[in-house]
Amino acid sequence: MSDKKVILVVDDDVDILEQTKILVENAGFSVVTAESSNEGWLKFQEIKPYACVLDLMMEEYDSGFILSHKIKKDAHGKTIPVFLVTSVANATGLRFDATTEDEKSWIKADAIMNKPVVIDDLISKIDEFYEKADAVK
């Protein structure tokens, strides 16, 4: 693996997974992919990524929430950004968010983004996460 920062992308839709991988690599990152939450958890433990992008609904309707919670609980002794991505809003009109304290208390993700993900927005959110973390230090 190169010296580039590694982003873990987990999605059960192979087309979305490959599209996201190409776009994130074009933004200068290395990307490791997984097609399920279980595979994503194993790869997370193996690679210790710089950030994670997780599909909300995979094997189960809450797979992304559960994986995000596990990552946030055991992030290799450090805090890393986790972003959930979903097409639920497009399909149902329902909108998830992680902005209020109540939402943050159970969502355990740094943001929820709609698919298809705008890569510039994702990179901005990763940068903002680490800028805030550096400001706290």
Give tens-digit pLDDT for 22-80.
Answer: 999 999 999 999 999 999 999 999 999 999 999 988 888 788 888 998 998 876 657 89
Instruction: Specify the DSSP element, H or E, that contains 67.
Output: helix 63-73
**Peptide bond before 81: cis, by omega within 30 degrees of 0?**
no
Domains and CATH numbers, the chain: 6-136 (3.40.50.2300)
Query: For residue 18, what are the contacts with CB-CB under 8 A and spacing of at least 6?
Result: 33
d(Cα 47, Cα 20) in Å, to the nearest integer?
18
CA angle 13, 48, 56 (to 5 degrees): 30
d(Cα 10, Cα 37) in Å, to the nearest integer?
7
d(Cα 113, Cα 89) in Å, to the nearest integer?
10
Instruction: For the chain, give the percent of residues with pLDDT over 90.
Output: 54
In this predicted structure, what is the pLDDT of residue 103?
59
In this predicted structure, what is the pLDDT of residue 112?
87
In this predicted structure, what is the pLDDT of residue 133?
81
Residue pair 117/86 in contact (Cβ under 8 Å)? The answer is: no
Q: What is the pTM of this model?
A: 0.86
